[in-house]
Structure 1
Amino acid sequence: MTVQTPCQSSSLDDWLCYLEGVHPSTIEMGLERVKRVAEQTQLLNTSSKIILIGGTNGKGTTARCLESLLLAQGYSVGTYASPHLIRYNERVRINGRELDDQDHIDAFYMLDQGREDTQLTFFEYGTLGALAIFKRYKVDFVLLEVGLGGRFDATNIVTPYASVITTVDLDHKEYLGDTRELVGYDKAGIFRANTPAVVGDLNIPHTVTDYGKEIDADLVLANKDFTHAVTDTGFKWQYLDYDYDFAAPAIPVQNVATALALLAKLSLLPKQDVISTCLSKLTVEGRFQQLSVSPKVYTDVAHNPESARYLKQKIAQLRAQGFKIHALIAMLADKDKASVIKEVSDVVDIWSCASLQGPRAEQASNLQAILSTQTQAASASYTSVRIALDEILAKQSDDTVLVIFGSFVTVAEAIQYWQK
């Protein structure tokens, strides 16, 4: 069936449905098509300084930290992130604010007119649409989150002012490989010669540094050039002549340390008191976000082993306060479910599994089967996150904390449940 092309007066929903059907594949690696359209629509000719942010986990929190610290100094900032939780508009921010539907519609219309017969995936449309919006608003800095890997991701068509790799771990193994060295090499593809390249991973694969040295990238490496350490009151960060102490933020300190190192490298680091104020206000949706105080409920997007290890730390803090932990897990079928469950299994007292909807959804019964091989705890099964929450919350006691996790889709359903 032929999908009718929307116009500038069509709704954003109509445009998003159209974009999902323009290309036969959800993912098509390679830069030739997306770069051709970017050149045809003159999107690569921009005055904005673009910072590419890649990594397995931590891209969103690192970008949010950079955004806050740049805005505090009076710069205008455009931020592109994916995926979104509830609304597509979450993917593009100007100075920390989402945009009206029409901004996205105008960008998509321009791209659809300018792409001629070149097919683009949904993500490629979104990336080019964000670049079009940022060029229109003439922002000083663009924070561009890399989608998948780095080397062949649509975001890598730009010439970055600097590049960042937050962490390197196993995810999207069918595209990036099944070792950290292979994944790291792909992510290092966002580096450029004689351009700052900051790496926040605490155990950097040699393929990352090897490639950086090969192309003469200006490397700044965690645990070599800059360090951070958790203290009783927060964390300490050191880089060059900087030796700062900060209170604990609501996001992983490893990502804060990486963001600070980048700004210091670029001579854009604000004063310590400004940093402290920004960190005290930082929150990122879906990252151990508290949804309810009574009963106590948290949600987290953890969906791979590395993010599950961070979630385990947060859960352990709750257990140390005397709480029992009830985990409600719902995941996508193409994720390493067994490894995620294994990472948190020894800090969870009660398990529940829920099915997600859609072509990539995993069924609760399959999660239950994995659980049965890894833990002695019994688990309940539900056909949806909403149904699970209806039943679990009706019985939850004051000494128990419910933690809902497993994917961005899971978190979105949990957040929407509290918005009903």
Structure 2
Amino acid sequence: MTHVVPSQSSSLDDWLCYLESIHPSNIDMGLTRVRQVGEKLGYTALPNVILIAGTNGKGTTARCLEALLLSQGYSVGTYASPHLIRYNERVRINGSELPDQDHVAAFHALEQGRGEISLTYFEFGTLAALEVFKQKQPDYILLEVGLGGRLDATNIVEPIASVITTIDLDHKEYLGDTRELVGREKAGIFRANAPAIVGDLAIPSSIWQYAEELGTQVTAAQKDYSFALTADLLTYQNGDLTLSLPVPNIPAQNVATAITTLYTLGLLPNENTICDVLANLTVEGRFQCLSEQPLVYADVAHNPESARYLASKLATFQAQGKTIIALAGMLQDKDQKAVFNAVKSNIDQWHLANLTCFRGDKADNLLQQLHSEVDKPNATIHDSVASGLQSVLANMPEDQLLIVFGSFYTVADAIAFWQNKE
């Protein structure tokens, strides 16, 4: 099939539609094609790259690293995925999204340079981000790994540090169905000549084994550094370094991972600067407050580990006497039962919504999975996230909290609903 190639004057939407059409599959694991293009166009030699892998916490760790580097006057390029509302969210320079034309120019340059080599949507987007960074030349580049690590398109670069945030089961069909297998895939971003920082609190032995084989120096949570969280203080310890920090708006584990990464690289700012950064740091879609009256939060939790963190956040509101209402929408290939199991003791009333996106599941199917974990759940199904929000918000007392969760798509729909509502 012949596809009409957009031009430099085409819209970003035209280019994104084109990228979705040019490869026969959405996921095509392997680095051969991507590396060929990357080497040809000079992307593999980009300097000062930090690679960030992990089942959960990549986005928040990257945002923390970005803010801490920016606080010292460095310029920073950040690549993350997926986006919530706009594709532009995927690439940031100094914390800001870029205009459409910058993405179009990068897509055009890559299209001209890739020749006959076929690329998936994600691969094309990743290489286009590297094209942006090649043009903008930031002091440091933060690359968030998309899937796994070893065979992910981001892994064609040579990082100055490799980071693994957490290890849990997700994307089992690609990464394996044990933490050992998943850990080995994510450790594929390690390099012999660059430090590795692992924030997981129970590191699989496969990570240690691969690091030893490669000769990578690993700095590990609970072994080389530690952190403790109280109601009003985050304490961090790493050798002679002790920090007393405000409680962050993102998971403390990810903050500790980011701090350790910069400390290892000799790039950590002073304690006062870190405190200022953490006091103002928020990440979209991560227990994000959409409204205070009524009280509405949104969280992208979509696997067991992220659901357990969500449960811990909800528990603090339960302790204050809040009734918790959940509106959930999930993808078909997620471990829905495990997610429901992780939060079931924190939810008083359930609302389940259809997701109409690719791989989106029906509310009827979610209800079946919920019944297997919760005995006689108080549950209502809805045609969409928007209709679910309309229904819940119409009769929501002040002593209730609504949490919208289950997928990036679910949260995106909730944010869009709120923006339209305003």
Give the TM-score taking structure 1 as reference length: 0.99
Partners of 2:371 and 2:145 in 1: how far apart?
36
- List aligned pairs for 1:217-256, cutoff 5 A: 217-256=216-255
Using the TM superposition, give the Cα deviation of residue 39 of structure 1 relative to its aligned residue in structure 2, in angstroms.
Answer: 1.5
Counterpart AA for 1:415: I
Tell me, yes or no, if structure 1 residue 42 matches structure 2 residue 42: yes
Partners of 1:352 and 1:42 in 2: how far apart?
49
Partners of 1:18 and 1:314 in 2: how far apart?
41
Partners of 1:242 and 1:359 in 2: how far apart?
47
Partner of 1:279: 278
Partners of 2:250 and 2:283 within 8 A in 1 = yes
Partners of 2:357 and 2:409 within 8 A in 1 = no
Counterpart AA for 2:312: Q
Counterpart AA for 2:113: G
Report the 3-state secondary structure (helix = DSSP H, G, I; strand = E; otherwise coil) of the residue aligned with 1:419.
helix
Partner of 2:164: 165
Partner of 2:124: 125
Counterpart AA for 1:345: K
Partners of 1:157 and 1:44 in 2: how far apart?
6
Counterpart AA for 1:199: V
Partners of 2:357 and 2:408 in 1: how far apart?
13
- List aligned pairs for 1:19-418, cutoff 5 A: 19-46=19-46, 48-375=47-374, 376-418=376-418
Counterpart AA for 1:374: E
Partners of 1:361 and 1:61 in 2: how far apart?
24
Partners of 2:222 and 2:371 in 1: how far apart?
39
Counterpart AA for 1:382: H
Using the TM superposition, give the Cα deviation of residue 371 of structure 1 relative to its aligned residue in structure 2, in angstroms.
Answer: 1.4
Partners of 2:169 and 2:53 in 1: how far apart?
14
Runs of 4+ in 1 over 4 A off after TM superposition: none
Q: Deviations over 1:21-51 (max 9, x none)?
A: 11010000000000111112222233x3000
Using the TM superposition, give the Cα deviation of residue 240 of structure 1 relative to its aligned residue in structure 2, in angstroms.
Answer: 1.5
Counterpart AA for 1:144: L
Partners of 2:45 and 2:157 within 8 A in 1 = no
Counterpart AA for 1:271: N
Give the TM-score taking structure 2 as reference length: 0.98
Q: Which runs of 5+ in 1 are unaligned?
A: none
Using the TM superposition, give the Cα deviation of residue 342 of structure 1 relative to its aligned residue in structure 2, in angstroms.
Answer: 0.4
Q: Which runs of 5+ in 2 are unaligned?
A: none
Q: Deviations over 1:211-269 (max 9, x none)?
A: 11110111100000000011231211000111111110100000000111111111111
Counterpart AA for 2:388: A
Partner of 1:16: 16
Partners of 1:152 and 1:44 in 2: how far apart?
15
Partners of 2:318 and 2:324 within 8 A in 1 = yes
Using the TM superposition, give the Cα deviation of residue 377 of structure 1 relative to its aligned residue in structure 2, in angstroms.
Answer: 2.2
Using the TM superposition, give the Cα deviation of residue 3 of structure 1 relative to its aligned residue in structure 2, in angstroms.
Answer: 2.5
Using the TM superposition, give the Cα deviation of residue 10 of structure 1 relative to its aligned residue in structure 2, in angstroms.
Answer: 0.1
Counterpart AA for 1:261: T
Counterpart AA for 1:390: Q
Partners of 1:183 and 1:371 in 2: how far apart?
26
Q: Deviations over 1:110-163 (max 9, x none)?
A: 111111110000000111011110111111100000000000000000000100
Using the TM superposition, give the Cα deviation of residue 386 of structure 1 relative to its aligned residue in structure 2, in angstroms.
Answer: 0.6
Partner of 1:6: 6
Using the TM superposition, give the Cα deviation of residue 329 of structure 1 relative to its aligned residue in structure 2, in angstroms.
Answer: 0.5
Partners of 2:59 and 2:144 within 8 A in 1 = yes
Partners of 1:400 and 1:106 in 2: how far apart?
48
Partners of 2:231 and 2:247 within 8 A in 1 = no
Partners of 2:43 and 2:157 within 8 A in 1 = no
Using the TM superposition, give the Cα deviation of residue 398 of structure 1 relative to its aligned residue in structure 2, in angstroms.
Answer: 1.0
Q: Deviations over 1:76-100 (max 9, x none)?
A: 1000000000000000000000001
Partners of 2:44 and 2:206 in 1: how far apart?
29
The Cα RMSD (Å) is 0.8
Partners of 2:130 and 2:111 in 1: how far apart?
14
Partners of 1:349 and 1:242 in 2: how far apart?
43
Using the TM superposition, give the Cα deviation of residue 358 of structure 1 relative to its aligned residue in structure 2, in angstroms.
Answer: 2.6
Partners of 1:397 and 1:406 in 2: how far apart?
23
Partners of 1:314 and 1:283 in 2: how far apart?
15
Q: Deviations over 1:154-184 (max 9, x none)?
A: 0000000100000000000000000000000
Report the 3-state secondary structure (helix = DSSP H, G, I; strand = E; otherwise coil) of the residue aligned with 1:57.
coil
Using the TM superposition, give the Cα deviation of residue 2 of structure 1 relative to its aligned residue in structure 2, in angstroms.
Answer: 3.2
Partners of 1:63 and 1:52 in 2: how far apart?
9
Partners of 2:39 and 2:65 in 1: how far apart?
28
Partners of 2:40 and 2:221 in 1: how far apart?
39
Counterpart AA for 1:119: S
The sequence identity of aligned pairs, in percent, is: 57
Report the 3-state secondary structure (helix = DSSP H, G, I; strand = E; otherwise coil) of the residue aligned with 2:371.
helix
